[in-house]
Structure 1
């Protein structure tokens, strides 16, 4: 499912116009992104938790040449599924 399909499904399920659903879905994504950018977590009980994890600098290897390269430290977004989501996925 891509974003436009998600917007259509939300519009149908909520009984609202696609334009309003698009604004709502966009606002949710923007809010999650801004919260993660500030280093905070987004906890949705029963669904899961969006968080930020730090990856330390490391050494990597170019697979085609074998040359060792430095991989910079960075923050990455992560998602941990909650019990409700896990149960829903495993029930079908």
Structure 2
């Protein structure tokens, strides 16, 4: 069962949640993403980039699309996602 944007993780399968960023040709285009759960028990491990960030200034907001829903993020995260987003391939965080 899905609650909001997240699908609950199955603890018995050691799942983690991955955010996939869709490619875009233009730097300033809307950041489109989707969530997926991945099992750490699987023989085929997902490749992803680990990202750590601070929340920053809450007076300024940016937006991304996650699974079709408009989500608010802060500018430093938006800038980081734009920097690592590719133009040809999906990037996983």
Greater gyration radius: 1
Which of the pair has the greater relative contact order for Cα pairs under 8 Å at 6+ separation?
2
- With the length of structure 1 as denominator, give the TM-score of the two structures: 0.26
Identify the structure with the greater helix proportion.
1
- With the length of structure 2 as denominator, give the TM-score of the two structures: 0.26
